[in-house]
Amino acid sequence: MDKTRRSFIQLAGITALAASGSKALAADQPPETLPPENPLTGNRWAMVIDLKKCQKQNGCTACSDACHYVHNVPDIPIERQEVKWIWKEDFKAAFPNQEHEYLQRDLPEKDVLVFCNQCENPPCVRVCPTKATWKREDGIVMMDMHRCIGCRYCVVACPYGSRSFNWGDPHDHIRKINPHYPTRKKGVVEKCTFCEERLAKGLLPACVEACPVKAMTFGDLSDDNSEVRRLLRERYTIRRKPGLGTNPNIYYIV
């Protein structure tokens, strides 16, 4: 086990024990999260992405650069071994059967931002045999890389390709390690968790903060006055593969 990961586990274990009054962690339960001081709280977190704003920034990678640095995501040059939390994908592949003649004319020719949809009905959670992935009450689909046994059932179950598997040791491909977030090891799955560690500190997701044109809006769908709800009321939005019944919490303004 690498030093960074070992230190993180030790620190998390000590703090969790202190916070829970030495309550033992049941083997079939996800780990408890620590009580934060000024967290952002919500009942159903969601993201609205304005594709027109995003696509005006041709070649911009500010969001993925920020996300991948903050979360120690390795930059692996072999395509089939890539690890990605947020990336750009061809519109037609991301939104099959969503084209119609009135859609923004050049949209189908462009790439769109994609990441975990934080699905309301996540098939990845249903298939995980160790509860390494689970859905929180606020809708975030969590991932405990320490509990993951690398079976990759979740990778197969996710219909959006939002999960990555570490085929090798990722450490050699991390450009600069962020000491405030754990690294992973060979044989575990990882994905976006809506920056739950930043929300716990009262911070917005790193991608939202990094976007130079404010194309990404994060907020609580259960709050009628939230900015995400205003956008959904006033703008035309689509979601990825809505017919699958996963009920994604990522919306795209087109």
Task: State the minimum distance, in angstroms, from the CB of residue 162 to ligand SF4.
Answer: 4
Closest of 184, 156, 159 to residue 171, by C-alpha: 184
Beta carbon nearer to ligand SF4, 108 or 245: 245
Q: What is the Cα–Cα distance from 103 to 42, expressed in whole angstroms?
A: 32
Q: Strands 189-190, 250-253: parallel, antiparallel or unpaired by DSSP?
A: unpaired
User: Can residue 160 be called a binding residue for ligand SF4 (CB under 6 A)?
Assistant: yes
What tokens does 1 get? 């086990």
Task: State the minimum distance, in angstroms, from the CB of residue 106 to ligand SF4.
Answer: 26
What tokens does 39 get? 């967290």
In the set 55, 64, 72, 117, which binds ligand SF4 (CB under 6 A)?
A: 117
The DSSP H or E segment spanning 113 is: strand 111-115
In the set 64, 72, 98, 162, which binds ligand SF4 (CB under 6 A)?
A: 162
Measure CA of the first residue to CA of the last residue in the chain; give whole Å.
45
Beta carbon nearer to ligand SF4, 72 or 162: 162
Find the part of the chain contacting ligand SF4 (CB under 6 A) among 65-73, 154-162, 195-203, 226-234. 154-162
User: Can residue 124 be called a binding residue for ligand SF4 (CB under 6 A)?
Assistant: yes
Beta carbon nearer to ligand SF4, 17 or 145: 145
Amino acid at 184: R
Beta carbon nearer to ligand SF4, 139 or 182: 139
In the set 51, 113, 141, 254, which binds ligand SF4 (CB under 6 A)?
A: 141
C-alpha distances out from residue 4 to 25, 38, 119, 135, 145, Å: 23, 26, 31, 26, 14
Cβ contact 8:177 at 8 Å: no
Q: What is the Cα–Cα distance from 163 to 171, expressed in whole angstroms?
A: 18
Find the part of the chain contacting ligand SF4 (CB under 6 A) among 95-103, 115-123, 182-190, 228-236. 115-123
In the set 118, 164, 166, 183, which binds ligand SF4 (CB under 6 A)?
A: 118
Residue with tokens 């089939």: 80
Q: Which residue in the shown chain puts its C-beta closest to ligand SF4?
A: 158
User: Can residue 112 be called a binding residue for ligand SF4 (CB under 6 A)?
Assistant: no
In the set 122, 139, 170, 219, which binds ligand SF4 (CB under 6 A)?
A: 122
Q: Strands 111-115, 86-90: parallel, antiparallel or unpaired by DSSP?
A: antiparallel
Q: Mapping DSSP to helix (H, G, I), strand (E, B) and coil, where does residue 210 land?
A: helix
Beta carbon nearer to ligand SF4, 6 or 126: 126
Which residues inside 179-238 make contact with ligand SF4, applying CB under 6 A? 191
Q: What is the Cα–Cα distance from 124 to 190, expressed in whole angstroms?
A: 12
User: Can residue 134 be called a binding residue for ligand SF4 (CB under 6 A)?
Assistant: no
Q: Which residues bind ligand SF4 (CB under 6 A)?
A: 116-119, 122-124, 141, 158, 160, 162-163, 191, 246
